[in-house]
Amino acid sequence: MRRYDVTDEAVLEATPAEIFSALEDEAAGRSRWWWPWLTLHRLNEIPYTQVGSRVTLTVSGRGQVDNRWLSPTFVGVVREVEPERRLVVNYVDGAFRGTGEWTLEPVDDLRTHVTFHWVADPAGVMLLWDRLLDIPRHHSRVIRKGFAAMELHIAQHRPPAAA
């Protein structure tokens, strides 16, 4: 069985607090900035940025999360959190088993270096898709689209600076 080990990173014009808030908004259904590349839905009442949160993730490297044949779904459980610094999710059911780790490092007062490290094994139907698609490339595309969409979402919802 093949193991994926992919790291994507970017510097976003956003604070770590804004990034944590944007991730929680997406999981709670208050925003859809990552759609149509990824949907994230909480399965319990625990916020995504807290240990014990359970979420479903549906992903499409082609930007078609509505197409169930091209959009694997899996379940994640938040395992570790260092507020506004690090969030680790274990993937426990569905298309992948493994971990995803968000790491946030402030660059200055308004910018943050964001890293997402994904280590996962395909499961179920993904064992077949693994032979046909470049899953790591599709994963990186989804994450990069997410970085850009998150940055735009944060900019659009940031209160105006005081004069």
Q: Are 34 and 46 in contact (CB under 8 A)?
A: no
For domain 4-157, the CATH class is alpha beta
pLDDT tens readout for residues 41-56? 999 999 999 999 999 9
How far is the C-alpha of 132 from the C-alpha of 115, rounded, in Å? 27
Could you state, in order of their start, the residue ranges of all structural domains in the chain? 4-157
Burial of 109 from C-beta contacts in 10 A (0-12 / 13-18 / 19+): exposed
Q: Are 54 and 39 in contact (CB under 8 A)?
A: no
pLDDT tens readout for residues 93-124? 999 999 999 999 999 999 999 999 999 999 98
Average pLDDT for residues 67-95, to the nearest whole number? 90
pLDDT band at 133, cuts 50/70/90? Answer: confident
Q: Is the pLDDT of residue 154 over 80?
A: yes
How far is the C-alpha of 122 from the C-alpha of 4, rounded, in Å? 8
How far is the C-alpha of 25 from the C-alpha of 49, rounded, in Å? 10
Percent of the chain whose predicted confidence (pLDDT) is above 90 = 73
Question: By C-alpha distance, which of 71, 98, 103 is closest to 85?
Answer: 103
Q: What is residue 71's DSSP assignment?
A: -
